[in-house]
Amino acid sequence: MGGILVLNSGSSSVKFAVFDGHLEQILSGSATEIGGASVLKITSKGKSSEETSASLPNHSAALSAILEVVHKTGIDVTDLAGVGHRVVHGGASLQASIGVDAAVIKEIQRCSDLAPLHNPHNLAAIEALSDLAPDLLQVACFDTAFHATNPEVAQRYALPDSPEMKNFRRYGFHGISYQGLVNTLADRAPDGVPDRLLALHLGNGASLCAIKSGQSVATTMGYSPLEGLTMGTRCGGIDGNLVLRLAEQFGVDETSQILNRKSGLLGLGGISDMRALHASGTDAAQFAIDHFCYWAVRHAGSMIAAMGGLDGIAFAGGIGENDALVRHKILSGLTWLDTGFDTKANENNAFRIDAVGSSIPIWIVEAEEEKTIAAETQRLLKQYD
């Protein structure tokens, strides 16, 4: 089977990776600041990264530049077996990875109301690539799909049961990361995936997931990625009446900016980046870190209750994989569960960090979202064959 191109399109960037038929990553990079002072970054297997300035006025130009880079490595678009896209929101209809056709495009477009900051840019990449390589099979992988297994009682808000309310429900996000985490533990953990797994995807966006028998049964994000934990710039859980009061005082648009882009670590500590908060050393920065960890521990109790117990813990995401102090603070808040951890292993970001004698195994798992998308794309390609 030929190579697979994976695309993750944001509002002003496109990240990409190329995998061979054995799902080994051979090329990766990004096009950033699309529409402005654009930069193209390329990393080939076994080589250092290269950055060059580029004229990328839109997503179509960015994709053309990416395909040109891929071509220079000896891979033409016609050589690719397919392309996998990260799409943030699949709504209630698109609950599994799927080959893209006109009907799927229409549904992704319809879900743009549910994820206005993400889906339009995911769709732009799909449409631009359709123009550039119309015969290439494209696959959409949804961040919401992993949580489709949540029971109805977990998905429904206690809103009036009427047709106009049907889309106002908890969807959950970071599903591609959680699927990749499950895949990794299935491959690498001696006993496979534990029956009741608490998974923590901690980064600028952060969520927890209760994974029972390999499937999501609860998660902290809801209708949008705003709900749940304290995040880089998102406030996390907030009283609905307070949202209404903010809207009265500041207007709807400004309230959206406050809740999504001016709150969280940034709002509390003045900095959205966790590494910079650690380095800052201010009281406000320390409070922001404590707030992040407190709500992770508090929501962990909810996830554990949803599973009826705990058999394992796994950290993923930029903070989850690299921040030993945050993991230390969160795990220290869960010691009542006999979650002893090895301080040295934690500081070294080891794959397994539970202490000898602890009844709960603890892992640090690289999310590998791109590889997960490539694997899903390859699986669907085989079905088409």
Convert the pLDDT of each residue in 6-30 to its tens digit: 998 877 788 899 999 899 999 999 9
pLDDT single digits (tens) 110-123: 888 877 777 888 88
Name every residue whose Cβ is closer than 8 Å to that of residue 378 and which is 6 or more positions away in sequence: 1, 4, 21, 23, 81, 82
| Same-domain check for residues 136 and 211 | no
In a domain, 377, yes or no: no
The pLDDT > 70 percentage for the chain reads 99
Q: Using an 8 Å Cβ cutoff, are 40 and 51 in contact?
A: yes
Residue 134, exposed/middle/buried by CB under 10 A (0-12, 13-18, 19+)?
exposed
| Same-domain check for residues 210 and 343 | yes
Tell the residue number behind the tokens 């994820």, with chain if given: 115
| Same-domain check for residues 199 and 120 | no
338 catalytic, yes or no? Answer: no
pLDDT single digits (tens) 334-382: 999 989 999 999 999 999 999 999 999 999 999 889 999 999 999 998 8
For residue 193, pLDDT over 90 is answered with yes
Q: Got the DSSP string for 315-372?
A: EEHHHHHH-HHHHHHHHHTTGGGT--B-HHHHHTT-SB-BPTT-SS-EEE----HHHH
For residue 127, pLDDT over 90 is answered with no
Category of 308 on φ-ψ map: left (φ > 0), alpha (ψ -120 to 50) or beta: left
In a domain, 164, yes or no: no
| Same-domain check for residues 197 and 138 | no
Domain span at 24: 4-142
| Same-domain check for residues 137 and 209 | no
CATH number at residue 218: 3.30.420.40
| Same-domain check for residues 102 and 42 | yes
| Same-domain check for residues 223 and 99 | no
Q: Which residue in the list 135, 143, 239, 338 is annotated as catalytic?
A: 143
| Same-domain check for residues 137 and 195 | no
